[in-house]
Structure 1
């Protein structure tokens, strides 16, 4: 186990696998999970010759169950410190859901030469909560419901999220993968309830509009119209318009947790983008349907 201690004394657990001189990929997990969310990607990209890094965000997984610093600025600052400590150069950063917000804020503030590309999957930018700039966002009452459920009985709440909307297992034709439900629940219960509770405000109310505008490197966004957690209409199509060099790949029927349920498809999209010489600026792409 590798542990990095931040400047404020927080221990950040991370995985760092593969040749240290290989092209680096850094993975940012979603709420309320851990680096283990990316197991399918870590093994795949190791096999493709990459160095892969994934951390447990403060308060999540095996990292310190923090009292303070459970906010997007601190999340990004932790990543900046870890990237410097590992001396990563021209790394690709991949973020899912809340991790997509973290990757976005990091990318807007990254040291020169540390970042080459960004991939955002089912990600929260620009902002999830309904507001004047995002009238199609979710009402604040939705997130109040998350808070109430976590505070009252997070074990039950997390089971219902994993078995339902996160992986789309509540859809009539869905084939439930019991191991994925249990693994989601295991990761979630490993983290600290206070940090996870406070992260609900982070993923719902953090406005990443200016961060998206500030990113200079190519960005790929993967999002599905059937995402039941981060609504498509209020996220990726808006985010890609704010980017200087963004490409949106839209799917019709994938769930929010597509990196797990459709790892083969997602991995192929990431690999093609990472290996491409560049990415032409785009406001969108033709919808794609998973086989």
Structure 2
């Protein structure tokens, strides 16, 4: 069996699909791929769920077309996966940029196949300091990330995990395995795709559309997240979403799906069971 789904424009989207039961669909962050969900996939499958994780276009094993790197197209790619695998009553989980992707899926494709949402360290409702949102992340930060990708993305993806996982802070160790996995996933993606995605995760405004989402939504964020700040994203998200619950992991970094895997896995399973 080939683990690819054709998107609307023919782009081949790679996916992994294990377990059986209620589907949990996992959308990864930047600049990673579905391997980022290794700490969750087997646990959730063993807990009685069908777990599907896919590589965003331009990332991992998916095709790397010249275009289509915008939230609408990402949501359409997710819809292609949902339809091809006939996933219903699903729990959509998005980490970081993936949080925007699952939100846009719901507002663009509806809730016929979706029961619940989970936003993990997500960029929603708006990450950037634009459109009357001065408390957001300054554009200079996003521009700096893009320049680092252009200058030497290999070095960036070696260095960035230190901040991503807050390695060496508190009880979080320096972990060469986490660093190597981040580097490998980052380098497996296309440079042009990763550049385009920076603009998308920094500047896409989800505020208006999120107000219409009535699905039960679990919002999990680390209080020590220096990449996607808690106060300007998760706290704002639960003010906008009509049916959301916020859980803050004290001291946790942006990479808490790895550093706090046991707690997160238990929280995901408990939320998805109901």
TM-score bucket (shorter structure): over 0.9
Query: 1:18 corresponds to which residue?
Result: 19
Contact 2:130–2:203 at 8 Å: present in 1 too? no
| 1:12-64 alpha-carbon deviations (Å, 9 max, x no partner) | 00001123xx2110000000000000011110001011101000000011111
Query: How far did residue 173 of structure 1 move?
Result: 5.2
Secondary structure in 2 aligned to 1:104? Answer: helix
Correspondence for 1:283: none
> Which secondary structure does the structure 1 equivalent of 2:219 belong to?
strand
On the 8 A contact 1:136/1:233 being kept in 2, the answer is no
Give 1:269 deviation, angstroms: 1.2
- The alpha carbon displacement at 1:10 in A equals 0.4
Structure 1: tracts of 5 or more residues without a match: 277-291
What is the aligned partner in structure 2 of residue 281 from structure 1? Answer: none
Between the aligned partners of 2:271 and 2:109, the Cα distance in structure 1 is 20
User: Which stretch of structure 1 is more off in the superposition, 4-13 or 142-151?
Assistant: 4-13
Q: Secondary structure at the match of 1:25?
A: strand
- Provide the aligned C-alpha RMSD in A: 1.2
The alpha-carbon deviation at position 212 of structure 1 amounts to 1.2
Evaluate the alpha carbon distance shift between residue 240 and residue 172 of structure 1 in structure 2; reply closer, same or farther with a 3 A threshold: closer
2:128 aligned with 1:158:
no
Inter-partner Cα distance in structure 2 for 1:45 and 1:184 = 22
- TM-score relative to the length of structure 2: 0.96
Unaligned runs of 5+ in 2: none
Q: Deviations over 1:98-134 (max 9, x none)?
A: 0111111112223442000011000000111112432
Residues in 2 aligned to 1:145 and 1:107: alpha-carbon distance in whole angstroms: 31
Greater CA drift, 87-96 or 165-174: 165-174
Contact 2:223–2:230 (8 Å) recurs in 1: yes
Q: Equivalents in 2 of 1:222, 1:271: separation in Å?
A: 14
Measured in 2, the distance between the counterparts of 1:172 and 1:121 equals: 21
CA deviations 1:214-264 (Å, max 9, x no partner) are: 212100000112101001111000011111100001122011010011100
Q: How many residues of Structure 1 are paired with residues of Structure 2 in the alignment?
A: 273
Report the counterpart of residue 38 of structure 2 in structure 1.
39
User: How far apart are 1:192 and its partner, in Å?
Assistant: 0.6
Normalising by structure 1, what TM-score? 0.91
Q: 1:74 to 1:262 in 2, by over 3 A?
A: same
